[in-house]
Amino acid sequence: MNTSGGRAFISDEELSQAGAGTWPTHQFKDQAFCSPTSLRAWAQAFLPGRGWSGPLCHVVSREHGAIQAFVPFAKQKIALFSIHSLAGYYWPFRTLFVAAQKAPGLAAAEALGRELARRPPGAVLRFGPVSSRDAALHAVLRELTRQGWRYLCRETGAVFELDLSLGMDALKQKFSSSLLKHIEYSRRRLGKTVGEVSVERHVMGRSLDILDTLAAIESQSWLAKKGGELKFIGPANQRFWELMGQNPDGHSEAVFWVLRCGGQPVAFSAHLETETAVYILANSYDEQWKSHSPGSILTMDVLQDAVARGKQTLDWGQGDSGYKQRWGAQDASLLHDVMVFKPGLIGGLLAWAAKKALPSWTVRLDSLA
């Protein structure tokens, strides 16, 4: 691939100008949530904050002057150091953008890896969380290691997934034997004792009012009461979702489901959706409704809709107390945190210091062998 025709390290403003108009679809359709729009929304909402600082920048690879792939970076403070880290919203994972190619393969990602090795933004780069099934990102990391870059890695957890291509009848065979009966019982009981049970699907951008509803439910959830990571409470979170809805890119969308009982909002399920995949970012419900299993009722409607719309995979994220497996979800991939060090004296010293300071970063990535 010809990578000539411009600088490799550019600002987000330059990327925006280069992609004036509509960006092409991502080569890997399930990763279309990584787009200039979503990255810009993240930067404008969350930078600076939580150890991150701006500006958002990109290393790009080109073919005949046109950008074919880019990897986003922003500064992140690690201990006493400020290094360039893979940028973007933490959920479902961080990745890079590869424009759809005429021929299948990883040529654009490999070219991006070579460009990054030649003209990196810093001597240390961090990539995380990244998915074990992200072929494009691993192609970039392979190119770096071929150029002599060293790496440290840790595993951050398993991701639970559900294969939606089986169809709803086959999926129900994977559910625990009592689950369906319990959902039907809970739905009938709510209808009789509280009022009509209704479910709504909202696509971000068509209505901003839904954000207040999600924040209200989240404020009464166990996550809020235990000081967990919230996704809709606070100005930065609200700003992110507002920006996501202002300029949809057509290849992915933020989708929010809300379950109401007697008109009162009780539970929600928040997703990023691509043409092929549904990524569940958060499930929350008002704790006072816990005995009625509102989350399970809502999940059944979400699954039926996803299957009906031809989605292939449901990614339920990391961690499981048993709930996800009741629905037949399995740990199908892993998330990793990877730090790479430039060849040479400075990179070698930094790698040595990091290895001493991060004794748990000992995982070997087979894809980089």
pLDDT in tens, 352-366: 999 999 999 999 998
> Amino acid letter at 368?
L
**249 exposed, middle or buried (CB, 10 Å; 0-12, 13-18, 19+)?**
middle
- Report the C-alpha gap between 257 and 266 in whole angstroms: 11
Whole-angstrom distance between the N-terminal and C-terminal Cα of the chain?
23
pLDDT at 7: 80
pLDDT at 1: 47
> Amino acid letter at 350?
L
- For the stretch 222-250, pLDDT in tens is 999 998 899 999 999 999 999 998 877 77
Phi, psi dihedrals of residue 348, rounded to the nearest 5° = -65, -40
Question: Do 100 and 24 form a contact (C-beta atoms < 8 A)?
Answer: yes
- For the stretch 5-63, pLDDT in tens is 568 899 999 998 886 666 788 999 999 999 999 999 999 999 999 999 989 999 999 98
pLDDT beneath 50, residues of the chain: 1-3
pLDDT at 5: 58
